[in-house]
Amino acid sequence: MEFHYVTESPLATDADLLVVCTYGDPAKDGLVRHLDQSLGGHLLERAKAEDFTGKPGQVLYTDRNGNGRTRAIAVVGAGEMNGFEASKLRDVAAAAIRVARRAGARQVTIALPPVSPRQSDRVVQLAVEGALLGSYRFVKYRNDEAKKPDPIATVKITTERGKSAGKKPTPAQAKAMKAAIARAERVAAAVCHARDLINEPAAFATPIRMAEEAKALAKKHGLAVKIYTPAECEKLGMGMFLAVGQGSDQESRLIHLTYTPAKKAKRKIAIIGKGVTFDSGGYSLKPSQSMEDMKTDMSGAAAVIASLAAVAQLGSPYEVHAIAACCENLVSGHAYKLGDVLRAMDGTTVEINNTDAEGRLTLGDALTYARHKVKPDEMFDFATLTGACVIALGPHTAGVMSDHEALVQAWLAAARDAGEDMWRLPLQPKLKEQLKSGIADMRNTGERYGGAITAGLFLKHFARDTPWVHVDLAGPSSTPREIGAWTRGGTGFAVASLVEYLTR
């Protein structure tokens, strides 16, 4: 699928399908009204009959040809105009590309809502990302029509509808648009790589396979890589991480990828991902239905690994360390048990009162590893950590916790620019009481209420004084159905925000 930015009027475009993205009532959109006139009033009549009001994701399609330049026309709703919303533009482009696929279109023109010139390259980037993410399909294990190649060959994108339409872009504008498209392709490729890893069955995406993926990515993009075996992790004293994986026949792996900029790094940043490639809950066994999608419990690891490919391609002023603690949490005679006391890499002793609260154990040692081996200026961790966060924020929003104000605000700003929904939760100190143990320094879970926050407080213990942000992406890491630019399965959530934060 090739992308081109054009300044010609959408009415003058040659395409199999013209997709017009509109805010709210289509009758108020000048381009829609013009197309309606060329169709003898058919378009708005159909909008009324189908109750098309321009709501997000709504689609109005006709194969009537009004201007003689396109075979079919589609109008895609973007909801009400409410400032610049990155996620909305990405979702609109995803809806547009799905319409084009269903129509069997080979040449597509997407007319985005008009924006100010200073936003146009950003809008084009988001549209290209949306088109690529909306067209994502995980069909490796399918034998039916789903494996047929996508019919779309070329996508033209324009934000011009008024007097400026048809004007040739300046060299600076053309260069900016080319860079925006290239950036979008790299971001989307990283998101799709994360989706591929998440969607693979746990029998394939084992800790060892994750390590192999990291090695391949390092070789392709010139990254440094170090893979730690259980024996090497034992020498490091990673008692919590090793305990989680000891019930499985699949050996655990600690993955450490490093991107180093050509010039002296402005600072060191560690991004740490939970990599539980399958989570049965251990002896605190999950019900069968709750286990069905537990192959996605390594979404944090997939995000930090995949994002480093885009960072390497786009460049960053920072030295970036991606660390993924990968293991399986299974039940066997070797599995860790309720009541066990584990010794963490930093010497902390932890009483286990829930073997299904394993992610914080793996991340605790990974945070300590990052502090000791990398000595970062700031750390981020990404994890499908708690069901409590999904209860609090729903399935589309990640919970963010930190006690470092400047860092968390910078992160949330990057997430907004990337179009990923995140919300800050308080690290309430009073809840630390819940983590007290009678026989060890602490226990791994607190009470039912405030469960997402007590998990964050547990991790804060191991982050110590290093500026740190925790991102609980349990809700948006996967989806059971198509939503906006997300497709069923793993979403690759947090990759776009990571690339935004690390490369802008």
* Segment 133-146, tens digit of pLDDT: 999 999 999 988 77
Q: Which of 268, 360, 371, 443 is catalytic?
A: 360
Last residue of a domain, which of 152, 187, 222? Answer: 187
Residue 163, pLDDT above cutoff 60? no
Average pLDDT over residues 284-310: 97
Residue 183, pLDDT above cutoff 60? yes
Distance CA 373, CA 27 (A): 60
In a domain, 193, yes or no: no
Distance CA 491, CA 32 (A): 32
Distances, alpha carbon 434 to alpha carbons 44, 186, 291, 389, in Å? 60, 44, 27, 17
Whether residues 217 and 144 fall in one domain: no
Of the candidate ranges 20-29, 82-91, 220-229, 358-367, the one whose mean pLDDT is the lowest = 82-91
Neighbour count for residue 483 (Cβ, 10 Å): 16
In a domain, 369, yes or no: yes
Summarize pLDDT for 25-50 with one digit per residue, the tens.
999 999 999 899 989 999 999 999 99
In a domain, 281, yes or no: yes
Whether residues 152 and 210 fall in one domain: no
pLDDT at residue 231, as a whole number: 98
pLDDT at residue 162, as a whole number: 59
Mean pLDDT of the chain: 94
Summarize pLDDT for 186-211 with one digit per residue, the tens.
999 999 999 999 999 999 999 999 99
Whether residues 205 and 262 fall in one domain: yes
Last residue of a domain, which of 155, 187, 219? Answer: 187
Going by the DSSP 8-state scheme, the letter that residue 483 receives in this structure is B
Whether residues 116 and 265 fall in one domain: no
Whether residues 172 and 213 fall in one domain: no
**Residue 71: active-site member:** no
Average pLDDT over residues 293-322: 98
Whether residues 161 and 221 fall in one domain: no
Last residue of a domain, which of 166, 187, 208? Answer: 187
What pLDDT band is residue 11 in, cutting at 50, 70 and 90?
A: confident
For the domain that residue 111 is a member of, what is the CATH number? Answer: 3.40.220.10
Distance CA 112, CA 78 (A): 10
pLDDT above 90 covers what percent of the chain?
A: 85
pLDDT above 70 covers what percent of the chain?
A: 98
Q: With 0.85 as the threshold, say if the pTM is over it.
A: yes
In a domain, 194, yes or no: no
In a domain, 365, yes or no: yes
Distance CA 492, CA 300 (A): 9
pLDDT at residue 161, as a whole number: 73
- Sequence-ordered list of residues with C-beta below 8 angstroms from that of 326, at least 6 positions apart, any chain: 207, 210, 211, 252, 253, 254, 255, 275, 276, 277, 298, 301
In a domain, 192, yes or no: no
Q: Which of 33, 226, 286, 424 is catalytic?
A: 286
Distance CA 58, CA 78 (A): 8
Give the chain's domain count. 2
Of the candidate ranges 51-55, 357-361, 459-463, the one whose mean pLDDT is the lowest = 51-55
Residue 155, pLDDT above cutoff 70? yes
State the number of CA atoms in the 13 A half-sphere of 165 facing the CB: 19
- For residues 261 and 315, the answer to whether their CB atoms sit within 8 Å is yes
In a domain, 195, yes or no: no
Whether residues 218 and 364 fall in one domain: yes
pLDDT at residue 347, as a whole number: 98
- For residues 20 and 31, the answer to whether their CB atoms sit within 8 Å is yes
Range of the domain at 18: 2-187
Whether residues 425 and 280 fall in one domain: yes
pLDDT at residue 32, as a whole number: 93
Whether residues 180 and 204 fall in one domain: no
Residue 164, pLDDT above cutoff 70? no
pLDDT at residue 82, as a whole number: 75
Residue 239, pLDDT above cutoff 80? yes
Average pLDDT over residues 301-317: 98
Neighbour count for residue 337 (Cβ, 10 Å): 13
pLDDT at residue 84, as a whole number: 61
CA quadruple 347, 383, 275, 436: dihedral sign: positive
Distance CA 89, CA 306 (A): 23
In a domain, 72, yes or no: yes
Nearest Cα residue to 197 out of 253, 313, 276: 276
Whether residues 207 and 178 fall in one domain: no
Summarize pLDDT for 64-97 with one digit per residue, the tens.
875 567 889 999 998 887 766 778 889 999 999 9
For the domain that residue 424 is a member of, what is the CATH number? Answer: 3.40.630.10
Whether residues 212 and 134 fall in one domain: no
pLDDT at residue 81, as a whole number: 77
Distance CA 479, CA 490 (A): 7
Whether residues 292 and 152 fall in one domain: no
**Residue 360: active-site member:** yes
pLDDT at residue 373, as a whole number: 98
